[in-house]
Amino acid sequence: MTDYCLRLACPLFLTFMMLAGSPAGARSLLPPDPYPSTYEPLSRQHTIIVNATILDGAGARFERGSVLMRNGELVAIGTDLTPPDDAVIIDADGRWVTPGIVDIHSHAGNAPLPMEFRAYDGWDVNEGTDPNTAHLFAEHGIYIQDPNFATALAGGVTTIQVLPGSVNLFGGRGAVLKNVPGRTVQDMKFPDAPVTLKMACGENPRGYYGSRGIAPASRMGIIAGYRSAFEAAREYSQKLEGKKAERPPRDFRLETLAGVLNGEVRVHFHCYRADEVANVIAVAREYGFDIAAFHHVPTAYKIAPLLADNGVCAAVWSDWWGFKMEAYDGIRENAALVDRAGACAIIHSDMGELAQRLNIETAKAVAAGRRAGLDIPHEHAIRWITSNAARTLGLEDQIGSLEPGKNADLVLWSGDPFSVYTKADLVFIDGAIIYDRQDPARQPGSDLMLGQPALEDIE
Amino acid sequence: MKLLSVLFLVAFAAASAKAETTAIINARAVTMTAAGTIDGATIIISEGRIDAVGEGLTVPAGARTIDASGRPVTPALMNSGSQLGLIELGSARDTDDSSAGESGLGASFDVQYALNLNSVLIRVALADGLARAVVLPLGTDQAPFLGIGALLHLQTPAAVLGQHGLAAMVRIGGAASGGPEQSRAAHWQLLRNSLEDARVYAADPGKYAMAGNRRSLAALVPVVEGRMPLVIHTLRESDIRQAVALADDHGLRVIIYGGNEAWRVADLLATKRIPVVLDPSANQPATFDTVGTRADNAAILERGGVTIAFVASRLGQNYNTAASMREGAGLAVANGLSWEAALAAITRNPARIWGIAETFGTLEPGRDADIVIWDGDPLEVMSAPAVVLIAGVPVSLATRQILLRDRYAPDHDAELPPAYR
């Protein structure tokens, strides 16, 4: 790939790549996915859900609305749809419908349950052997039998980004998955999802490497580490553009970073402290790349206008704070204040117990914002776990909102999704029912849970 | 001199507030007693205690009146297990006093001496409606003993120690402090041996020459004499059954803490009147000890007649001690527990389990006027306290987090940097 399409040799391919998402004028530096998705949708029927309260993920709310799904695609939404003869009709009877939830910070599969005390030691989250492991793929650390996938599904999560951990400056590529059971991780991969890269700042890299006598041992070393790596990536990109004889041997780390510099790789950045976020944004400006989202950042509210000005999302927890100095200034209004500044707010999980309740996590963040006097309607807030999240994955044209032409990923909730009493009744991915709360035969489970005596039904 | 007079004034103001009569009117009073929920209720408070609760009561002349406007009014909440006042910031070693380390104190390690009553975490819990918190130790160098817990009474300007020597605590099983390299059988044997030694010690303290061991055994004397409960932090069914057997053999007052698989032993626990303190949000097999974890653990136990009380989730343990516990209560309702039983598990039940039911946990005459007026359903995550009264006095709901929020409020006059606000 790096060789067969240089300069003007195949203009059609270049045009295709530009249409497919590379920034205008930039040539793709990334070969095709060496481990492409083998996902196949489950069997599905044309389906219409009627009489629903719909939050469409794009900012609108429909009362007594309908959504029509055909061949895995959402083809119509509105309050005046006539059920077609060939569609299964589901009467929501006032229950709520939202897009499937998109969780952009998961460790499902790379920190699997149950924890084995003798073997856990970081699970397959961190390759803590080098601060730059931009050449890694999170998918290679994923155990698909992790029960976290099923519990997230029962909570309405349809798309998951599994990320490497945060001890490395460059942790590796994220794995964007459809939350469908498979036999291999490739069976779950979201087809042709853009490449993402996990980066990290702050306490974790400096603490981990500093304690081992390796750089970075300070936040200064962290920023210097980014610059050295991006400087090398810039040279690598330039050489790739040069004469064939002078082209460098393939370098997997630099290939990913070169993809960051030309906008093909979306950067997901673990950072807690607002002032560090500002430093990282300055480095991104220096090297001319964009950051899709900062993750965790409990103090995003302190620099919300900066995030808005730079078009960067903040993916945060609703109320987790205080467990370390970097989180001591975390507040419950964080997401709401980011949102209020015009920046893109997202609620993420990072942990399986939160992944299964992202609707509840969002509810708490919304409630805190409302108590602070901010007007945050349900139809706006649902974006925090749907369309805003999809945007950071470069999948906003396929998932995240219920608009004609998009994938039929949606959740039928038992009630208001922001109520603690509400549960997901039905979860659709590409128009297929992946989870049905009333039908045990439509509830995927981990192999782990089979035959466990402690799970026998009680009288 | 100036400082002294200020202190005097504060003390005087607090005393006079306590002495005055307060009436909460138009309350939807969720009494947690046989009286149930009373709409349009008046709650009359004097001397920091509840005088009367009911419809059509006459508000005493001169009473301060708080209009609940029909909103739910409940007893303030109680959490049955956290390190509130013991841990401030996980990464700051000087603010973590939860474990005895290599002190040799064993079972006698007592958290009461470390309590930081000015903790900002306490203010968060108070603003979230918590009035009582059981504070539990996390470890000693003598497995399976964790130490001795205490009870906090939350109030402003600082919390007070409600009771020291509340309970002794052990942890047994995969979650034990000794770690997985030590068999749980060893933990049960060590515990049984120590209890037997404590009996011998009680009969003749002079028999034990070694000071360290003597103090550790002395700490267990109230346990073997049934004067102090023994909290057994354990998760797996086999261990819960061991705990029941131990309680039988030694005539102990046992409280199961954790109890993820307790639902499988509900009948036995009910028969033996052993209460269970649990995290109702737990529904995943976090470890092999909890493969049998179910979201309806609380509902099954309640249905079986077991007294249950709640704690916060792992993540909310100390930082959202009240809010996370309340969310768990709501989740328990979503998983089959009745609304009343869920509220009881964070008010009346813990008061009974921890021995303060005479003063706390219900809205009825004679109880401390620790009361919350909610802005909505007390078990909904979008609700919050509108007014928190401790001993009948409304407390400030301002936390350090609220101050941060306001410092960075978007509509703030931007003439000077936030540091000036």
Chain B 68-127, residues with CB within 8 Å of chain A CB atoms = 89-92, 121
According to the model, what pLDDT value does residue A118 have? 65
pLDDT at B110 exceeding the cut of 90: yes
Which residues 6+ apart lie within 8 Å of B220 measured at CB? B107, B168, B194, B195, B198
Could you tell me the pLDDT band of residue B414, with boundaries at 50, 70 and 90? confident
Q: Where are the beta strands (DSSP E) in A79-183?
A: 88-91, 96-99, 101-106, 157-162, 170-173, 175-178
Give the mean model confidence (pLDDT) for residues B51-62.
96
**Please, which residues bridge with residue A399 across strands?**
none
CA-based nearest distance A302→chain B, Å: 6
> What gap in Å lies between CA B335 and CA B281, rounded to an integer?
10
Mutate to test the interface with A, among B241, B401, B412 (most CBs of A within 10 A): B401
Q: Is A448 on the interface with B (CB under 8 A)?
A: yes
Q: pLDDT: is B404 or B156 the higher one?
A: B404
Name the average pLDDT for chain B. 92
According to the model, what pLDDT value does residue B207 have? 77
pLDDT at B1 exceeding the cut of 80: no
Query: Scanning every residue of chain B, which has its alpha carbon at the shortest distance from the alpha carbon of A371?
Result: B384
Mutate to test the interface with A, among B382, B397, B400 (most CBs of A within 10 A): B382
Q: Which of B315, B379, B410 sits opposite A340 (nearest CB)?
A: B410
The closest of A183, A179, A189, A114 to A149, measured between CA atoms, is: A179
Query: Scanning every residue of chain A, which has its alpha carbon at the shortest distance from the alpha carbon of B266?
Result: A458
Q: Is A227 on the interface with B (CB under 8 A)?
A: no
Peptide bond preceding B385: is omega within 30 degrees of 0, i.e. cis? no
CA-based nearest distance B166→chain A, Å: 26
Q: Give the long-range contacts of residues A226-229, CB within 8 A, separation 24 or more.
A: A226/A169, A226/A199, A226/A280, A226/A283, A227/A283, A227/A286, A227/A287, A229/A132, A229/A134, A229/A169, A229/A170, A229/A253, A229/A257
Which residues 6+ apart lie within 8 Å of B61 measured at CB? none
pLDDT at B251 exceeding the cut of 90: yes
pLDDT at B7 exceeding the cut of 60: no
Q: Is A355 on the interface with B (CB under 8 A)?
A: no
Give the mean model confidence (pLDDT) for residues B313-321.
94
According to the model, what pLDDT value does residue B91 have? 86
Give the mean model confidence (pLDDT) for residues B265-289.
96
Q: Which amino acid is at A455?
A: L
Could you count the other beta carbons within 10 Å of the beta carbon of residue B364? Answer: 16
Q: Which of A324, A364, A420 sits opposite B331 (nearest CB)?
A: A420
> What gap in Å lies between CA B258 and CA B240, rounded to an integer?
10
Taking only the tens place, the pLDDT of each residue in B82-97 is 999 999 998 889 999 9
Give the mean model confidence (pLDDT) for residues B244-255.
97
Query: Scanning every residue of chain A, which has its alpha carbon at the shortest distance from the alpha carbon of B402?
Result: A331
Peptide bond preceding A131: is omega within 30 degrees of 0, i.e. cis? no
> What gap in Å lies between CA A13 and CA B222, rounded to an integer?
81
For residue A21, CA distances in Å to A193, A206, A264, A293 come to 11, 35, 7, 18
Q: Is B354 on the interface with A (CB under 8 A)?
A: no
Q: Is B279 on the interface with A (CB under 8 A)?
A: no
Burial A72-105 (b: 16+ CB within 10 A, else e): bebbbbeeebebeeebeebebeebbbbbbbbbbb
Are B79 and B132 within 8 A, CB to CB? yes
**Please, which residues bridge with residue A84 across strands?**
none
Chain B 165-224, residues with CB within 8 Å of chain A CB atoms = 174, 179-180
Mutate to test the interface with A, among B98, B302, B405 (most CBs of A within 10 A): B405
Query: Scanning every residue of chain B, which has its alpha carbon at the shortest distance from the alpha carbon of A114?
Result: B287
Give the mean model confidence (pLDDT) for residues B337-345.
98
According to the model, what pLDDT value does residue A8 have? 34
Q: Would you call A421 and B333 a contact, using CB atoms and an 8 Å cutoff?
A: yes
CA-based nearest distance A39→chain B, Å: 27
Q: Would you call A302 and B292 a contact, using CB atoms and an 8 Å cutoff?
A: no
Q: Which amino acid is at A231?
A: E
According to the model, what pLDDT value does residue A4 have? 34
Q: Which of A332, A419, A455 sits opposite B380 (nearest CB)?
A: A419
Q: Is A323 on the interface with B (CB under 8 A)?
A: yes
Which residues 6+ apart lie within 8 Å of B58 measured at CB? none
Chain A 107-166, residues with CB within 8 Å of chain B CB atoms = 113-118, 147-148, 151
Q: What kind and span of H or E run contains B198?
A: helix B184-203
According to the model, what pLDDT value does residue B174 have? 72
According to the model, what pLDDT value does residue A441 have? 95
Give the mean model confidence (pLDDT) for residues B196-206.
91
CA-based nearest distance B331→chain A, Å: 6
Q: Is A384 on the interface with B (CB under 8 A)?
A: no
Q: What is the DSSP letter of A301?
A: G
Chain centroid, CA A365 distance in Å: 19
Q: Is A302 on the interface with B (CB under 8 A)?
A: yes
> What are φ and ψ of residue A357, in 5° steps?
-135, 40
Where chain A has pLDDT below 50, the residues are: 1-25
Q: Which of B91, B237, B281 sits opposite A353 (nearest CB)?
A: B281
Query: Scanning every residue of chain A, which has its alpha carbon at the shortest distance from the alpha carbon of B339?
Result: A421
Burial A385-397 (b: 16+ CB within 10 A, else e): bbbbbbbbbbbbe
Could you tell me the pLDDT band of residue B176, with boundaries at 50, 70 and 90? low
Q: Would you call A364 and B292 a contact, using CB atoms and an 8 Å cutoff?
A: no
According to the model, what pLDDT value does residue A20 have? 40
> What gap in Å lies between CA B364 and CA B341, rounded to an integer?
18
Could you count the other beta carbons within 10 Å of the beta carbon of residue A58? Answer: 18
For B18, the token pair is 């306590």
Work out how many CB contacts closer than 8 A connect A with B: 137
According to the model, what pLDDT value does residue B18 have? 52
Q: Would you call A421 and B284 a contact, using CB atoms and an 8 Å cutoff?
A: no
pLDDT at B208 exceeding the cut of 80: no
Taking only the tens place, the pLDDT of each residue in A130-180 is 999 999 999 999 999 999 999 999 999 999 999 999 999 999 999 999 999
